[in-house]
Amino acid sequence: MSERLFIRLGKTSEHPCSWLVWSEQAQEIIASGELADAASLSSLAERAGNRPVDVLVPAANMTLTQIMLPEKGQRQALKALPYMLEESLATNVDNMHFVVGPREGEQLNVAAVAHEQMQLWLEWLHHAGLKVKRIVPDCLALPLDQCRWAAMSVGSEYLIRTSEGGGVSLPKAWSAIALPRLLSQVVQTNDDPISMASYSDDIDFSGVQVESKPLDLPMMVLAKGILNAPINLLSGVYKPKSEYSKQLFIWKNAAIVIMLAIVLALVNKGLAIHQLNNRTAELQAQSEVIFKLSLPAVNRIVNMRSQMDSQLRSMQGQGGGAVFFEMLDNLKPAFSKVPELKPNTLRFEANRNELRMQVTAKTYGQIEEFKAFVAKDYQLDGGAMNSSEDSVTSTLTLRIK
């Protein structure tokens, strides 16, 4: 994207905000303006579109400082950085957001801003529907342009960049007092004055060698320098998530839903198969019970279908299988009337339509009762009855009348 939207926020929500759309490819301003307050930022949402958005925030709302920190052992020392700056900050360091800037010899540049202030800026931008990639202290966007310092007049204040990663926002009313103190903090290696790149025509600082630069819109100067600024406050807990991560997160949720659906489908399928297997086992058990009732002489079931076919063939002889099943069906009421009587063996002579049964009951009376029911439909020849301690056995021959 060759066009970018640059926004400079005010010190408070009531202060005006400046903005500019810059084309990197054409090296020209597409549009610019100033909003009355932070609430008006929402008017930039449509203008932002898919353009990258870079934001400048007032250096007056934070502390840009340096700390002596040897390069050796820097990684371990950075963990204690907030407490190393505790005496120079008026706010509890636990409530501060720290961003490390570039190193200058033994000095390490550090930006410290209150979490409350960061959250306030992000709230303004979020409510305006603006997705920001970079938040930079405004003074650090001033190009040094081979000078030691850089300065610009913006409204009632001077923005002054004092090093690669340091700077201040100085009210003009305080400049006569504050500027000498600022200069006294600079370690001079020689008697030459500090060179300063000036981007305004009203800058005339005593003790500073001012080098005038081409005058342009303040936002234009800052827009050109923000991309090379050494500090981005959107770091640590405020680092924005990449679009790739967001898309990955969306697809991750979709994948979880799909996996859950697949698992539930497999569980449902497994339950259906389990229920079907149970039903099959029940039907198999019922079939074996019927088989044993019909053919009590068969002690072991190996292949019920094959064994049933074999028994039918032996009983059918030359034919008459239908008669056999008809006779069995007609005997069902008699067996129901005398449930204690059980058939031991069945043999059907197809050529004579004759069924021979060996039956067992508990008493003689039960066999006689059964014979009385059967005699109504069949010619019945009863054999001798043999008794044991707890049962009576007899052979019955039935013929169709």
Residue 319 pLDDT > 50, yes or no? no
Residue 32 φ/ψ, nearest 5 degrees: -155, 165
How confident is the model over 152-184, as pLDDT tens digits?
999 899 999 999 999 999 999 888 888 888 888
Over the stretch 41-78, which tens digit does the pLDDT of each residue have? 999 998 888 889 999 999 999 999 888 887 776 666 67
pLDDT (0 to 100) of residue 234: 95
Assessment of whether the complete model's pTM goes beyond 0.75: no
The pLDDT assigned to 385 comes to: 86
Residue 225 per-residue DSSP state: H
Percent of the chain residues past pLDDT 70, beyond the cut: 88
Report the alpha-carbon distance of residue 232 to residue 135 in Å, rounded: 5
pLDDT at 189: 45
Is the confidence at residue 187, as pLDDT, over 50? yes
Q: Which CATH number fits domain 3-240: 3.30.1330.10, 3.40.630.90, 3.30.420.380, 3.40.50.620?
A: 3.30.420.380
For 3-49, write each residue's pLDDT tens digit. 899 999 999 999 999 999 988 888 889 999 999 999 999 999 988 88
Lowest-confidence segment of 196-205, 249-258, 264-273 by average pLDDT: 249-258
Once rounded to an integer, what is the mean pLDDT over residues 235-245?
75
Query: In CATH, what number does 320-400 get?
Result: 3.30.1360.100
Nearest Cα to Cα of residue 194 among 179, 177, 172 = 179
Per-residue pLDDT averaged across 286-304, rounded? 70
Res 318 pLDDT > 50: no
Q: Tell me if 21 sits within 8 A of 29, measured CB to CB.
A: yes
Confidence of residue 247 (pLDDT cuts 50, 70, 90): low
Average pLDDT taken over every residue of the chain: 85
Q: Are 127 and 188 in contact (CB under 8 A)?
A: no
Decide: 135 and 120 in contact? Cβ < 8 Å.
no
Q: Binning pLDDT at 50, 70 and 90, where does residue 293 land? A: low
Residue type at position 301: I
Return the closest-CA partner of residue 19 out of 166, 217, 170: 217
Q: Distance between CA 372 and CA 259 in Å, rounded?
A: 69
Please report which confidence band the pLDDT of residue 390 belongs to, taking 50, 70 and 90 as the band edges.
confident
Spell out a b/e string for 61-70, using b for 16 or more CB atoms within 10 Å of the CB, else e. Answer: bbbbbbeebe
Positions of E strands within 87-156: 96-104, 107-114, 134-137, 149-154
Q: What are the domain boundaries of the chain?
A: 3-240, 245-315, 320-400
Q: Is the pLDDT of residue 129 over 80?
A: yes
Q: Answer whether residue 267 shows pLDDT above 80.
A: yes
Query: What pLDDT was estimated at residue 270?
Result: 84
Sign of the Cα pseudo-torsion (390, 395, 399, 401, in order): negative
Q: What pLDDT sits at residue 303?
A: 75
Q: b or e along 335-374 (b: 16 or more beta carbons within 10 Å of the residue's beta carbon)?
A: beebeebebeebebebeeebbebbbbbeeeebbebbbeeb
Residue 106, Cβ neighbours under 10 Å: how many? Answer: 11
Averaged pLDDT, 87-112: 87
Span 79-86, average pLDDT: 79
Same fold, 3-240 and 320-400: no
